[in-house]
Chain A
Amino acid sequence: MISRSLRHVVLALIVFIWVVPFVALVTTSLRSETASKTSGFWKAFTPTELGHRFSTHDGDNQDAFVVMTGNIFERLNQGSESFPVTGDVKSIFFKGRVPDPDNPGETILLRKLVPPNEPMEVRDGEFVFDEFGNFTWTFPEASAPQPKNLDVFIDQDPVFGADAFVEVLFQDKNVPNALISSFIVTIPATIIPITIAAFAAYAFAWMSFPGRDWLFVIVVSLMVVPTQLAFLPVLQGFSGIASWATQLNAWLTDCELNDTCQVASKSFAGLWITHTAFGLPLAIYLLRNYIVGLPKELLQSARIDGANHLQIFTKIIVPLSVPALASFSIFQFLWVWNDLIVALYIGPNNAEDLVFPIRLQKQLGTFKDQLHLLNASAVISMIVPVIVFLSMQRYFIRGLLAGSVKGG
Chain B
Amino acid sequence: MRFNSKTLGAATVAALLTSGAAFAGSHSDVCNTPSALGDLGNFEGEVITIAGSMEGKDEEMLTNTISCFEKATGAVVKYSGSRDFAALIVADLRSNNAPNIAIFPQPGLAGDMAKEGHLVPLGDATASWMADNYGAGQSWVDLGTYANADGKKDMYGFAFKMDLKSLVWFSPEQFEDNGYEIPSTMEDLIALSDQMVADGNTPWCIGVESGNATGWTATDWMEDIMLRTTSPENYDRWVSNDLPFNSPEVINAMDVYGQFSRNDAYVAGGASSVATTFFGDAPKGLFSSPASCMMHRQASFIPAFFPKKGEEVANGEADFFYFPPFAAQDLGNPVLGAGTLWTMTKDSPATRAFFEFMKEPAAHEAWMSQGTFLTAHKGADLNAYATPALRKQGEILSNATTFRFDASDLMPGAIGAGAFWSEMTAFANGQDSKTTADNIQAAWDAIK
Chain B residues with CB below 8 A from A157, complex form: 2
Q: Which of A151, A163, A232, A358 contacts B290 (CB 8 A)?
A: A151
CB contact under 8 A between A151 and B178, given known A172-B19, A366-B56: no
B281 contact set on A, CB distance < 8 A: 369
CB pair A159 B177 closer than 8 Å: no
Contact (Cβ within 8 A) B96 A239: yes
B290 CB contacts on chain A under 8 angstroms: 51, 93, 95, 151
Q: A92-106: which have CB < 8 Å to B?
A: 93, 95-97
| Contact indicator A151/B15 (Cβ below 8 Å) | no
Q: Are A95 and B177 in contact (CB under 8 A)?
A: yes
Is A232 in contact with B280, judged by CB distance below 8 angstroms? no
- A95 proximity list for chain B (CB < 8 A): 177-178, 290
Docked complex Cα distance between A163 and B78 (Å):
31
Q: Is A171 an interface residue (CB 8 A)?
A: yes
Bound CA span A235–B307, Å: 40
B88 at interface, CB cutoff 8 A: yes
How far does the Cβ of A247 sit from chain B's closest Cβ, in whole Å?
A: 14
Known: A166-B15, A259-B46, A366-B55. A235 touches B284 (CB 8 A): no
The CA-CA distance from A238 to B57 in the complex, in Å, is: 33
- A158 an interface residue at 8 Å Cβ cutoff? yes
Q: B47 to A262, Cβ gap below 8 A?
A: yes
Q: Decide yes or no whether B80 CB sits under 8 A from chain A.
A: yes
A135-173 interface code vs B (CB 8 A; 1 in, 0 out): 000000000000001010000011111110011001110
| Minimum C-beta distance from B49 to chain A (A) | 8
Q: Flag whether A258 is at the interface (Cβ < 8 A).
A: yes
Q: Does B10 contact A (CB under 8 A)?
A: yes
**Known A170-B15, A362-B81: A235·B92 in contact at CB below 8 Å:** yes
Query: Which A residues from 50 to 109 make CB contacts under 8 A with B?
Result: 51-53, 81-83, 93, 95-97, 107, 109
CB distance from B308 to the nearest CB of A (A): 11
Which residue in chain A gives the minimum CB-CB distance to B53? A365
A351 within 8 A of B: yes
Decide yes or no: A160 and B15 within 8 Å by CB, A53-B289, A349-B80 being known contacts. Answer: no
| In the complex, A361 has a CB within 8 A of chain B | yes
Q: Determine whether the beta carbon of A160 is less than 8 Å from that of B55.
A: no
Given the known inter-chain contacts A362-B81, A365-B56, A369-B281, please indicate yes or no for A163 contacting B7, CB distance below 8 A: yes
Q: Is A368 an interface residue (CB 8 A)?
A: yes
Report the nearest B residue to A364, measured CB to CB. B83
Measured CA separation A171–B19 after assembly (Å)? 6
CB of A111 within 8 A of CB of B19, answer: no
Q: Is A260 an interface residue (CB 8 A)?
A: yes
Contacts of A351 in B (CB 8 A): 78-80
A residues within 8 A CB of B178? 95-97, 109
Asked if A369 contacts B280 (CB within 8 A), the reply is yes
B84 engages A344 (CB within 8 Å): yes
Q: Is A236 an interface residue (CB 8 A)?
A: yes
A403 to B371, CA, bound (A): 63
Q: State whether the Cβ of B123 lies closer than 8 Å to any Cβ in chain A.
A: no
* Residues A362 and B97 in contact, CB atoms below 8 Å apart: no
Say whether A313 faces chain B, with CB atoms less than 8 Å apart.
Answer: no
* Chain A residues whose C-beta falls within 8 Å of the C-beta of B78 in the assembled complex: 350-351
| A-chain residues with CB within 8 Å of residue B15 when the two chains form the complex | 166-167, 170-171
* B contact patch SS: mixed
Neighbouring B residues of A160 by C-beta, 8 Å: 1-4
Q: Is A278's CB within 8 Å of the partner chain B?
A: no
* CA distance in complex: A374, B21 (Å): 24
Q: Chain A residues near B57: list those with CB within 8 A.
A: 366
The reply to whether A109 and B4 contact each other, CB–CB distance below 8 Å, is no
- Interface members, chain B 304-319 (any A CB < 8 Å): 305, 307
Q: How far is the CA of A369 from the CA of B84 in the complex (A)?
A: 19
Contact present for A96 and B91 (CB under 8 Å) = no
Given A171-B15, A259-B45, A365 contacting B55 (CB threshold 8 A): yes
- Report the nearest A residue to B6, measured CB to CB: A81
Closest to A150 in B: B289
**Contact of B179 with A97 in the complex, beta carbons under 8 Å:** yes
B43-60 interface bits toward A, Cβ cutoff 8 Å, 1 = contact, 0 = none:
001110001000111010
A235 to B88, alpha carbons, bound, how many Å? 11
Nearest CB in chain B to that of A172: its residue:
B19
Residues of A within 8 A of B288 (CB): 51
- Residue among B8, B45, B95 making CB contact with A239, cutoff 8 Å: B95
Residue A216, interface by CB 8 Å? no
Residues B173 and A149 in contact, CB atoms below 8 Å apart: yes
Instruction: Give min CB distance, A354 to chain B, whole Å.
Output: 8
Q: Is B82 in the interface zone, CB < 8 Å from A?
A: yes
Chain B CB within 10 A, most for which of A52, A95, A158, A238: A95
Q: A109-B179, A345-B88, A366-B56 are in contact. Are A161 and B47 (CB under 8 A)?
A: no
Query: Contacts A107-B179, A262-B47; is A368 near B56 (CB within 8 Å)?
Result: yes
Asked whether B47 lies within 8 Å of A361 as measured between CB atoms, the reply is no
Pick the residue among B1, B18, B19, B280 that contacts A368 (CB under 8 A): B280
A231 at the B interface (CB under 8 A): yes
Selected from B45, B83, B284, the residue in CB contact (under 8 A) with A365 is B83
Is A375 part of the contact surface with B, judged by Cβ < 8 Å?
A: no
Q: Are A161 and B91 in contact (CB under 8 A)?
A: no
- The reply on A265 being an interface residue by CB < 8 A is yes
Distance, CA A54 to CA B284, complexed state (A): 17
User: In the complex, which residues 105-124 of chain B have their Cβ closer than 8 Å to any Cβ of chain A?
Assistant: none
Q: Which residues of A contact B151 (CB under 8 A)?
A: none
Say which residue of B82, B92, B179 sits within 8 Å of A362 (CB atoms). Answer: B82
A-chain residues with CB within 8 Å of residue B79 when the two chains form the complex: 351
CA–CA, A238 and B95, complex, Å: 9
Whose C-beta in chain B lies nearest to the C-beta of A95? B177
Q: Within 8 Å CB of B94, what residues of A?
A: 232, 236
Interface status of A45 (Cβ within 8 A of chain B): yes
B53 to nearest A CB, angstroms?
9
CA distance A232 to B173 in the complex (A): 54
Asked if A166 and B8 make an inter-chain contact with CB atoms under 8 angstroms apart, the answer reads yes
CA–CA, A351 and B62, complex, Å: 13
Top-5 shortest CB links A-B: A365-B55, A235-B95, A51-B289, A349-B80, A366-B56
**Could you list 11 examples of A-B contacts with CB < 8 Å?**
A109-B179, A158-B2, A162-B8, A239-B95, A260-B45, A344-B88, A349-B80, A351-B78, A361-B82, A365-B56, A365-B81
Measuring CB to CB, which residues of chain A are less than 8 angstroms from any residue of chain B?
45, 51-53, 81-83, 93, 95-97, 107, 109, 111, 149, 151, 157-163, 166-167, 170-172, 231-232, 235-236, 238-240, 243, 258-260, 262, 265-266, 344-345, 349-351, 358, 361-362, 364-369
Given A93-B290, A109-B178, A362-B82, 14 more A-B residue pairs with CB atoms under 8 Å apart are A81-B7, A96-B177, A157-B2, A160-B2, A166-B15, A167-B15, A171-B18, A240-B96, A259-B46, A344-B88, A345-B91, A366-B56, A369-B281, A369-B307
